[in-house]
């Protein structure tokens, strides 16, 4: 009896489709793993802003000049007072809000107006003290509120935003 053995040269269509499906699943898992969610982005923005406040106070102590962190719709900038005028601290990059981030800040208006800041903001004196305040970051349905005392003791609370 003469049996012929057929040798397969290559892959079948089914085998190729199985490999493609496995790769698609792996790529989708990797994409979800490496794409930060809203909570991670809020934590990142909160930490960056906390760092900006600490940097403002460090600059004030180091230079022995009053510093001011002034927020805007796009981010925040650091200023220093020299000869009665507010100057941008050019050695410090401005903090830019992350895309889609909604930011609401609470500032004591009277000291900002008295100091003639370029906008409402927080003053930091050469002693390292800062005006107390708070900032609320919102992204999607996640909200984080950070507040601080004059000696930079931070409190951070997170909550889900209520959308009407």
In the chain, what are the domain boundaries?
Answer: 39-160
pLDDT (tens digit, 0 to 9) for every residue of the chain, 164 residues total? 555 666 667 778 888 888 888 888 888 877 766 656 788 888 899 999 999 999 999 999 999 999 999 999 999 999 998 888 999 999 889 999 999 899 999 888 787 778 888 888 999 999 999 999 999 999 888 899 999 999 999 999 987 755 54
Q: Please, what CATH class does the domain formed by 39-160 belong to?
A: alpha beta
3-class secondary structure, 50 = helix
- Give the torsion through C-alpha atoms of 117, 69, 144, 31, to 10 deg: 130
Determine the Cα–Cα distance for residues 123 and 114; give it in Å rounded to an integer. Answer: 11
Q: Which two tokens stand for residue 48?
A: 């960056």
DSSP type of residue 130: B
> In the chain, how long is the greatest CA-to-CA distance?
107
Whole-angstrom Cα distance, residue 63 to residue 21? 60
CA-to-CA distance for 33 and 28, rounded, in angstroms?
Answer: 9
Give me the count of residues in the chain: 164
- Alpha-carbon span 43 to 50, nearest angstrom: 10
């Amino acid at each position: 009896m003469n049996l012929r053995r057929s040798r397969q040269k290559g892959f079948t269509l089914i085998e190729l489709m199985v490999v493609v499906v496995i790769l698609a699943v792996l790529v989708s898992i990797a994409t979800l793993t490496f794409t930060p969610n809203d909570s991670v982005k809020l934590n990142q923005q909160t930490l960056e802003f906390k760092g900006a406040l600490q940097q403002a106070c460090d600059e004030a102590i180091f230079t022995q000049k009053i510093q001011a962190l002034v927020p805007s719709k796009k981010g925040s900038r650091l200023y220093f007072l020299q000869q009665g005028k507010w100057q941008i601290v050019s050695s410090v990059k401005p903090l830019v809000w992350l895309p889609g981030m909604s930011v609401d800040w609470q500032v004591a208006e009277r000291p900002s107006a008295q100091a003639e800041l370029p906008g409402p903001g927080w003053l930091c004196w050469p002693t390292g003290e800062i005006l107390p305040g708070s900032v609320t970051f919102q992204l999607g349905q996640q909200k984080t509120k950070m507040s601080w005392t004059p000696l930079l003791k931070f409190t951070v609370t997170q909550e889900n935003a209520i959308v009407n």
